[in-house]
Amino acid sequence: MVFGRRPRAPLLLARFSGLRRGACGRAMAPPRCFALELPGCTLAHFAVGDEAPGARPDPGVAALLGPPGRSYSLSVPVAGGAGCAARVRAARLHQRLLHQLRRGPFRRCQLRRLLCYRPGGGPGGLQHGFLLHDPRDSPDTRSALLALLDACPEAPRPRLAEFSGDPLCRLWQLPWERRDGQGWRQLGRERVVPVPEPALHPTVPDLPSSGVFPRREAARAVLEACTSFIPEARAVLDLVDQCPEQAQKGKFPVIVMEGLDATGKTTVTQSVSDSLKAVLLKSPPSCISQWRKIFDDEPTIIRRAFYSLGNYIVASEIAKESTKSPVIVDRYWHSTATYAIATEVSGGLQHLPPAHHPIYQWPRDLLKPDLVLLLTVSPEERMQRIEGRGMERTKEEAELEASSIFRQKVEVSYQRMENPGCHMVDASPSREKVLQMVLSEIQNNCN
């Protein structure tokens, strides 16, 4: 659509906030809602359908959806039933689309994280996707998107829509559909309206089946769906199946050491193990750590299933060793959960699940430690240590460095873990002083 002139922002926002259902709008109950991640890790919510009472427009939404330029949404539906196989396929397609949208004709476009959800919907109703904003409104962008979808063999295909304004400064979504033998065509248009932010981030209901697995079988089902394209998944499952369903701790204490990279965790963990004449275990355990790189390159649902099952393998080792001596564990379930929460919950700290939410509870079928210690240092000191060590950065470590918000979400998620919670230890002093503080914590809590 060609505009004679660019509408003024106040007018656009006024129209956006005062929209009413028109003849071209489609009544939907409930409407399809979207959570759009804006600069600064803020979230804006809008819907396609009827306007929700009391909602206020977000200037960021109007700036991205309206002129100048043109925006496109691309979402990945989950096939009927929302079983593990469907979730895995959707997650892998979403990741592949992300890689493709960062290359070629899309490099000049702005790419933002977009979630499609139903208000009050339960697990399985979430769709992950992207908002692609082309500031030039080039027809080549639309052509490249349609060609990208034509190349997707998966069924169902990703859903494409574009956003447009009109001379009255209203905003519309125009969905595209591919008809076999007839190419692509637009299916009318639907009104874009503001909606209030939900009380809980829309990804949270999905977390128990997509990243923070509450029991072993939930994680196992995910890797079972991966065996056809990740041969190592079968090897992991075979090792898990050799573990007891409910490992029991022995009479000696079990202490878990947690912390971000470069907090001194590895050094302190080894020193504590030596001081207590304890067995030192790591998660993931050595029997599967050789495959970490393979699973680290996969989407969150697969990556976290791998680490979750690694915890159950470690639990069987803990059960055996804690009958003979104290056990120190270098990372355990808390690491798996906190990184999944921080990765999947878009936006800032305020969008994390609130304290005491069930997502922060320890799995009932996983052997529980006696004490969890979380080593902390300031962000500045941690960066100095990383640079001084010249350590190789993992994908998550790179994100910790690039985004202070992501790091804070990891830290706050650690602090909200319960049953057991994390005991904080300042790891900034000398190595000897930190060791003394850790040993004191163990003596006070494990006797």
What is the DSSP secondary-structure string of 312-338? HHHHHHHHHHTTTS-EEEES-HHHHHH
pLDDT reported for residue 282: 96
Decide if 4 is inside a domain.
Answer: no
**157: buried, middle or exposed (CB in 10 Å: 19+, 13-18, 0-12)?**
middle
Tell whether 86 and 126 lie within a shared domain. Answer: yes
Coil vs helix vs strand at 270: helix
Tell whether 259 and 170 lie within a shared domain. Answer: no
pLDDT reported for residue 12: 39
Tell whether 280 and 426 lie within a shared domain. Answer: yes
pLDDT, tens digit (0-9, with 9 covering 90-100), for 270-320: 999 999 999 999 999 999 999 999 999 999 999 999 999 999 999 999 999
- What does the DSSP assignment read for 178-223? EETTTEEEE---EEEEE-PPPSS-TTGGGHHHHTS-SSHHHHHHHH
Decide if 244 is inside a domain.
Answer: yes
pLDDT reported for residue 169: 75
pLDDT reported for residue 317: 98
pTM of the model: 0.87
pLDDT reported for residue 6: 36
Decide if 351 is inside a domain.
Answer: yes
Tell whether 158 and 219 lie within a shared domain. Answer: no
pLDDT reported for residue 55: 61
Tell whether 245 and 159 lie within a shared domain. Answer: no
Which of 301, 343, 339, 359 is closest to 86 using CA atoms? 301
Alpha carbon of residue 239 to chain centroid: 27
pLDDT reported for residue 56: 63
Tell whether 125 and 274 lie within a shared domain. Answer: no
Decide if 373 is inside a domain.
Answer: yes
Decide if 5 is inside a domain.
Answer: no
Decide if 186 is inside a domain.
Answer: yes
Which of 369, 277, 375, 264 is closest to 317 using CA atoms? 369
Tell whether 102 and 121 lie within a shared domain. Answer: yes
pLDDT, tens digit (0-9, with 9 covering 90-100), for 321-346: 999 999 999 999 999 999 999 999 99
For residue 124, how many C-alpha atoms fall within 13 Å in the half-sphere facing its CB?
8
Domain extent at residue 344: 205-446
The string over 67-96, giving b where at least 16 C-beta atoms fall within 10 Å of a residue's C-beta and e elsewhere, is bebbbbbbbbbbeeebebbbbbbbbbbbbe
Tell whether 357 and 409 lie within a shared domain. Answer: yes
Handedness of CA 307, 309, 310, 315 (dihedral sign): positive
Tell whether 142 and 247 lie within a shared domain. Answer: no
pLDDT reported for residue 230: 97
**397: buried, middle or exposed (CB in 10 Å: 19+, 13-18, 0-12)?**
middle
pLDDT reported for residue 298: 96
Handedness of CA 12, 107, 99, 77 (dihedral sign): positive
Handedness of CA 44, 48, 52, 54 (dihedral sign): positive
pLDDT reported for residue 57: 63
pLDDT reported for residue 399: 57
pLDDT reported for residue 125: 77
Cβ partners under 8 Å of residue 128, min gap 6: 75, 76, 90, 91, 94, 114, 115
For the chain, how far is it from start to end, CA to CA, in angstroms? 73
**CA atoms of 348 and 326, how far apart (whole Å):** 39
- Regions of the chain with pLDDT less than 70: 1-31, 50-58, 79-82, 121-124, 153-155, 181, 262, 379, 381-402
Tell whether 218 and 350 lie within a shared domain. Answer: yes
Tell whether 272 and 382 lie within a shared domain. Answer: yes
Structural domain total, the chain: 2
Q: Which residue has the tokens 């028109």?
A: 22
Domain boundary among 164, 183, 198: 198
Decide if 336 is inside a domain.
Answer: yes
H-state helical runs in 225-353: 231-241, 265-276, 286-289, 292-296, 300-321, 333-344
Tell me the two tokens of residue 35: 């959570």
Decide if 12 is inside a domain.
Answer: no
pLDDT reported for residue 67: 83
Tell whether 186 and 277 lie within a shared domain. Answer: no
CATH number for the domain that contains residue 317: 3.40.50.300
